[in-house]
Chains A and B, each alone.
Chain A
């Protein structure tokens, strides 16, 4: 049985197609990523699979249950972290967790092993109202509440947006531990370092699935050689790159700018000379491997 299966699912809002004939399957125990630009339809898919929204067309199942007919069975077996903070801000940390355990007919101690690692970090603040927690703590508490009834599938809609790098890393270490316990996870993220930790990722754009691959498939399929370039004055370098001859594409990439030439074997020495002629100094140019982020940018630019 597939953990999640969508078949020709569509959803429109006043004529605008948010989800357009989408089909895919998620295996049991899989960590599956949903990636795409803002407005691609990710949240609508989450809301349909968590039975909060009824599709206009198509069918879908979660743990073998139909999302329309068997919605009650689905609700008791899944955990959901919506995009925006959705706990009770006036209840304390401990009260929120107790409440979620109670409505799922369980007790904290029954499944405490699942949330122990995360809850330990917020326990010092257990008497603080949830509304007064910092972003990282809110997200940890939300995950605890989503896990306390031991769901077989987790739906996480951009769980790390606005979360600092240290907490993000800890959060994903958590997800890997849950995966080891056979919990299936469907997660969306704008962070490509996170997406590369998924077993498979579905690329969604304008409501359609463009492809489903493993992260290594995406980077392996990136054909053009990528060069990383930097100079003392990065702003000036970016201006020069915009109109540089022989350059197919370029975009910032942290400390460097990534550069794709028209030719497969560009004359890099001549290009460095060209940059020097333009008054740039401290130039470094090197071949680099494509990352998932390069793949994402290329796809977005191709479709637009």
Chain B
């Protein structure tokens, strides 16, 4: 068990046949930090996230997430994390209220707790007039904010966000990041993948993955200094241009 590190990996590797998707990655994520997990399309981000969430068994190496072993305790991990992605987040043909109740139930909250959480969320997100509407009818930005709130409804130690703001307009993206900041302030560790380099700046630390390897890991400021660039955009080009796998 570790207290300081919510994620700890040691040479974590995943192979599909003769293709090595993840090459022996070793890194730690501190409690309460916003950790940005960057990389080009096809670099292996989603594969790594799936292993850390207990959804995919590593080929070799070790990893502990919220103090649980990814080989032996994948079910424990699932209970103690939140997860949200662009592709799957909410049930479109349930209402706002039904989605909150459903996820509250899935995460094992008692009905009194679900009730108080529901009111809290509706208030916080300003969804008072939408509670009985189908999620399908909400604008994308609202869906994403609701999905995030639902992903942390059980107060997990860490939440994994896989490209949460993809396709969201500039104003909505900022509102979404306010929620991320608040969660981190409440000591929920945030593990986020994004293709927006301005969002990468909002992270406490960043890792950049190229062809299944972590090529850089530090605070945005230190990374820029070390690579002699003024923006993360430049840094990303520098590293990802070398990629062999192709986007």
Contact = CB atoms under 8 A, between A and B. Distances in A.
Interface in A152-204: 158, 161-169, 190, 192
A148 to B, nearest CB: 20
Contact of B40 (A39, A167, A190, A234): A167
Contact of B201 (A135, A164, A251, A254): A254
B171 A296 contact: yes
B202 interface: yes
User: Secondary structure at chain A's binding surface: helix, strand, loop or mixed?
Assistant: helix
Contacts of A125: 246
Contact of A166 (B168, B185, B231, B240): B240
Interface string A19-40: 0000000000000000011110
Contacts of B41: 134-137, 162-164, 167
Contact of A235 (B40, B168, B185, B247): B185
Contacts of B236: 164-166
A163 B141 CA distance: 18
Given A238-B181, A297-B171, A300-B169, A165 B140 contact: no
A127 interface: no
A273 B185 CA distance: 25
B215 interface: no
Contacts of A163: 41, 195, 247
Contact of A137 (B163, B232, B240, B247): B247
Nearest to A171: B247
Contacts of A252: 174, 177, 198, 202
A136 B247 contact: yes
A162 B171 contact: no
A11 B236 CA distance: 42
Kindly name the residue among B198, B237, B246 whose own CB sees the greatest number of chain A CB atoms within 10 A.
B246
B220 to A, nearest CB: 7
A124 interface: yes
Nearest to B138: A39
A297 B170 contact: yes
B26 interface: no
B172 interface: yes
B227 to A, nearest CB: 15
Contacts of B245: 134
Given A38-B140, A164-B40, A300-B171, A137 B220 contact: no
Contacts of B184: 235
Contacts of A169: 237
Contacts of A136: 40-42, 246-247
A281 B48 CA distance: 36
B113 interface: no
B92 interface: no
Interface string A129-148: 00000111100100000000
Interface string A248-280: 000111110000000000000000000000000
Interface in B99-124: none
Given A134-B41, A164-B39, A38 B246 contact: no
Kindly name the residue among B170, B233, B247 whose own CB sees the greatest number of chain A CB atoms within 10 A.
B247
A137 B198 contact: no
Nearest to A35: B169
B247 A166 contact: yes
A164 B168 contact: no
Contacts of B247: 121, 134-137, 140, 163-164, 166-167
A37 B185 CA distance: 28
Contacts of A122: 246
A230 to B, nearest CB: 10
A137 B42 contact: yes
A234 B202 contact: yes
23 contacts: A37-B141, A38-B167, A121-B247, A136-B42, A136-B246, A137-B42, A137-B247, A162-B86, A162-B166, A162-B195, A163-B195, A163-B247, A164-B41, A165-B195, A166-B40, A166-B237, A166-B247, A167-B41, A190-B169, A192-B170, A252-B198, A254-B197, A254-B201
Which 9 A-B residue pairs are closest in the complex by CB-CB distance?
Answer: A136-B247, A134-B42, A136-B41, A254-B198, A167-B247, A38-B140, A161-B167, A39-B139, A164-B40
Interface of A: 36-39, 121-122, 124-125, 134-137, 140, 158, 161-169, 190, 192, 234-235, 238, 251-255, 293, 296-297, 300-301
Given A165-B240, A254-B231, 5 more contacts: A164-B41, A167-B247, A254-B197, A254-B232, A301-B171
